[in-house]
Structure 1
Amino acid sequence: MDGFDASAYLRRLGLSDPGPPSVAALHALHAAQVERIAYEALDIQLGRLTSIDPYDSAARITAGRGGYCYHLNGAFALLLDALGYEVTWHRAGVQGRQAAEPPGPAPANHLALTVRGLPAEDCPSGVWLVDAGLGDGLHEPLPLSEGEYVQGPFRFRLRRSAAAPGGWRLDHDDRGAFTGMDFGMRPAVVGEFLDRHRYLSTSPDSGYVRTCTVMRRDAGGADVLTGCVLRRVGVGAGRREVLETRTEWYAVLADLFGLTLTDLDDADRETLWTRVRGAHEAWSAGRDASGPPEGEDSGPRRATDAVSGQDLA
């Protein structure tokens, strides 16, 4: 495939040749993607509008960066296609914890994927929900059929969607960063996400603009960095640490999330840290004055703001 280096991408995932398309290989690829490629939107904190062309997103990932759903699932779809999988893009909508109703797929604030042609005992239709862009969402693909599924500490539910006629609804665990995700079955293309990507990257009402959140999923749960607050969901839960210095913050990005950020010069790093630290101090001042909202002590805003890209607080 011209302009795409599948071997370099696989090296980024820590995988060699996964072999021909299979259920086992798809699960291994998905798990490696969410474990090795961080969910992040750091460029938005720097005021930069990134490309969501899948070839650009794949180059971004092979160079050591992560991204959010348009980057992560767009690039992952490109890899799967290059490896021989039958993969389809879908317009989707993520519902944040504070939203009364699911947005449905109309605003296209999320890109979801399905893979066809891989029947298995638990998936006789051969259609799988593949989504590496949900932060603390799926660790491995799910068979696209109604039911409840457990992955590590999280329980998911797949059912028919009321917000996307003919489509599907993924309900997240109550401990997750978002309530659920609805998607339609009509195939989508990158152009259908451009307007929303611009809004999510530039609007002062966007959760990505308001909050710096980085996440990484693994088999036992998820690591979440919200502003300067690092916490763990799932195995090892209860760990919560405030990163007080620039050195600590960048060390966590590199060591825990795999983000060495070699593409940022020292001025960029100082700008990014100053913005993140300033938001954290503003949140801390407000929290000291009024106390945290009930059940909330994780950071300047819930991570759900970043997953849905909306101001839900």
Structure 2
Amino acid sequence: MAGLHVSAYLRRLDLVDPGPPSVTALRALHAAQVERVAYEALDVQLGRLTSIDPYESAARIAAGRGGYCYHLNGAFALLLRALGYEVTWRRAGVQARRAAEPPGPALANHLALTVRGLPAEDCPSGVWLVDAGLGDGLHQPLPLREGEYVQGPFRFRLRRSDVAPGGWRLDHDPSGAFTGMDFGMRPARVEDFLERHQHLSTSPESGYVRTCTVMRRDAGGADVLTGCVLRRVGDAADHRRVLESKREWYAVLGDVFGLRLTDLDDADRETLWARVRRADEVWATGRRSSATPAEPEK
């Protein structure tokens, strides 16, 4: 298996040399990751099961693609380790907006990260929650301590988890795409997520199969593409735009989300657009008029 090409990954993030591990560098790396690497599951819409091996995910990102949490955080952890950070994978569970109860980390529908060894005035323990795989979630890492944190238009809360003994709970802003995320403190590995990844990529019950969603976070808010509806959340005011043509849809993927999709041929592009358009027509019947940024239910 090929190793990690750190320079290629950093070029994708538009960073040259972040320097030795520090809180400042970690914040810059995290912000660059979520701003330049889109949260997306377009391969699922094409019926393709992708690898979540972190080396393959890193190569995917360096080549211009994004992914969802297993790809994004898996690759980001690999990059951070190569730069000298002490990173640990954590099993986590994202609670979707329509879920009455949090699923807890046993479901492993999410991969979260922690970084230790970086004490700061607001983080005496030196342990940070790092998560570049939550769509419209964190823009920068949070100190792993109880409290409320504001990043752009979103207010987050970190507290002890009710469903993960010894673990933590991140509550998202009420305007965000999901309710919250619980994670445990036992180290995890890629094998812990393979079964759920298979389900998320192939099951008719998976939100990634039912809905095409692409997100990109920045300091001012988030860009969210749900089917053929593009929304901007944050900044001065939310607004939305309906994309009526294939050309317009692919232009938005490239210009807004940085997804040029050079790995897809013309047949792939036609198949993907047709599927998104069909699903959007069904979805639009009942939901487009009140479209909100929505992470697919995991």
User: 3-state DSSP class of the match of 2:195?
Assistant: helix
Determine the structure 1 residue equivalent to 2:200: 200
Q: How does 1:49-68 map to 2 (within 5 A)?
A: 49-68=49-68
TM-score, scaled to structure 1: 0.93
User: 3-state DSSP class of the match of 1:150?
Assistant: strand
How far has the Cα of 1:282 moved from its partner?
1.6
Question: How far apart, in 1, do the equivalents of 2:173 and 2:58 lie?
Answer: 30
Q: How does 1:265-276 map to 2 (within 5 A)?
A: 265-276=265-276
User: 3-state DSSP class of the match of 1:180?
Assistant: strand
How far has the Cα of 1:73 moved from its partner?
0.1
Question: How far apart, in 1, do the equivalents of 2:126 and 2:180 lie?
Answer: 23
1:176-203 Cα shifts (integer Å, max 9, x gaps): 0000000000000000000000000000
User: 3-state DSSP class of the match of 1:179?
Assistant: strand
1:116-145 Cα shifts (integer Å, max 9, x gaps): 000000000000000000000000000000
User: 3-state DSSP class of the match of 2:106?
Assistant: coil
Determine the structure 2 residue equivalent to 1:39: 39
The alignment status of 1:137 with 2:121, answered yes or no, reads no
Q: How many residues end up aligned between the 2 structures?
A: 298
Determine the structure 2 residue equivalent to 1:106: 106
How far has the Cα of 1:303 moved from its partner?
1.4
Determine the structure 2 residue equivalent to 1:155: 155
Determine the structure 1 residue equivalent to 2:91: 91
Determine the structure 2 residue equivalent to 1:235: 235
| Runs (4+) off by over 6 Å | none
Question: How far apart, in 2, do the equivalents of 1:271 and 1:260 lie?
Answer: 16
1:90-127 Cα shifts (integer Å, max 9, x gaps): 00000011111100001100000000000000000000
Residues 85 and 2 (structure 1), Cα distance of their counterparts in 2 relative to 1, 3 Å cut:
farther
Question: How far apart, in 2, do the equivalents of 1:212 and 1:6 lie?
Answer: 30
The alignment status of 1:263 with 2:263, answered yes or no, reads yes
Aligned residue type for 1:143: P
Determine the structure 2 residue equivalent to 1:120: 120
How far has the Cα of 1:238 moved from its partner?
2.5
How far has the Cα of 1:237 moved from its partner?
3.1
Unmatched 5+ stretches in structure 2: none
* Aligned with residue 294 of structure 2, among 276, 281, 303: 303
How far has the Cα of 1:283 moved from its partner?
2.1
Aligned residue type for 1:265: D
Aligned residue type for 1:246: K
Determine the structure 1 residue equivalent to 2:189: 189
Aligned residue type for 1:193: F
How far has the Cα of 1:27 moved from its partner?
0.1
Aligned residue type for 2:263: D
Question: How far apart, in 2, do the equivalents of 1:238 and 1:223 lie?
Answer: 10
1:55-112 Cα shifts (integer Å, max 9, x gaps): 0000000000000000000000000000000000000000011111100001100000
How far has the Cα of 1:205 moved from its partner?
0.2
Does the 8 Å contact 2:2/2:55 carry over to 1?
no
User: 3-state DSSP class of the match of 2:261?
Assistant: coil
Does the 8 Å contact 2:222/2:233 carry over to 1?
yes
Aligned residue type for 1:239: H
Does the 8 Å contact 1:231/1:237 carry over to 2?
no
User: 3-state DSSP class of the match of 1:209?
Assistant: helix
How far has the Cα of 1:216 moved from its partner?
0.1
Aligned residue type for 2:290: D
1:245-291 Cα shifts (integer Å, max 9, x gaps): 0000000000000000000000000000000001111222x33xxxx
Question: How far apart, in 1, do the equivalents of 2:152 and 2:112 lie?
Answer: 21
CA RMSD in angstroms, aligned pairs only: 1.3
Aligned residue type for 2:222: A
TM-score, scaled to structure 2: 0.98
Question: How far apart, in 1, do the equivalents of 2:192 and 2:281 lie?
Answer: 37
Determine the structure 2 residue equivalent to 1:171: 171
